[in-house]
């Protein structure tokens, strides 16, 4: 496999995820990748394990590409779903975006991605359901677009 830079590797990953090409998607991962979902307390080891998860995932979301902020040589697209903002250089990136599930729910999402030798070695993802703002802090708050779909931050 040809070694890819950060953006190119993520673009290939998003395209494979969007097209549900699980074999191509997992080929972009180090064989010993570690994937963590801290909110559910789950850690998955190895690309074959992640391949099994994706193959059996009920209603796998489709990736959506939107405008993403960042310098051309210093940003990547998300390993999954809709990236809005990416920060990072070299082999370490943090991606902010949202994911739309098969039932129509749209959640905020943050991914921390690490690469080595052009392959994804670590992926930590956080998923956050939307919630109503507390009335007590209304006088200090400014309303944001929700979900943030029209433009990058």
Mind listing the pLDDT tens digit of every residue in the chain (153 residues)? 455 666 677 677 767 766 778 899 899 899 999 999 999 999 999 999 999 998 898 877 655 555 444 544 443 333 345 667 777 777 888 878 888 777 778 888 898 989 898 899 999 999 999 888 899 999 999 988 755 444 333
Q: Which helix (H) or strand (E) holds 53?
A: helix 47-56
Write down the domain spans for the chain: 6-140
This prediction has a pTM of 0.73
Closest CA relative to residue 14, chosen from 92, 120, 107, 116: 120
Q: Note the CATH architecture for domain 6-140.
A: Roll (3.10)
């Amino acid at each position: 496999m040809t070694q890819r830079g950060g953006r190119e590797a993520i673009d290939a990953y998003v395209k494979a995820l969007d097209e549900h090409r699980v074999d191509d998607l997992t080929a972009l991962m180090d064989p010993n990748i570690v994937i963590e979902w801290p909110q559910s307390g789950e850690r998955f080891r190895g690309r074959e394990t992640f391949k099994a998860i994706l193959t059996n995932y009920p209603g796998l979301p489709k990736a959506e590409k939107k405008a993403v902020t960042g310098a051309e040589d210093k940003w990547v697209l998300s390993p999954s779903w809709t990236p809005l903002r990416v920060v990072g250089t070299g082999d370490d990136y943090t991606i902010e975006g949202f994911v739309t599930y098969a039932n129509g729910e749209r959640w905020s999402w943050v991914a921390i991605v690490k690469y080595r030798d052009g392959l994804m070695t670590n992926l930590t993802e956080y998923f956050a359901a939307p919630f109503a703002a507390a009335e007590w802090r209304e006088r200090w708050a400014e309303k944001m677009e929700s979900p943030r779909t029209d433009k990058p931050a």
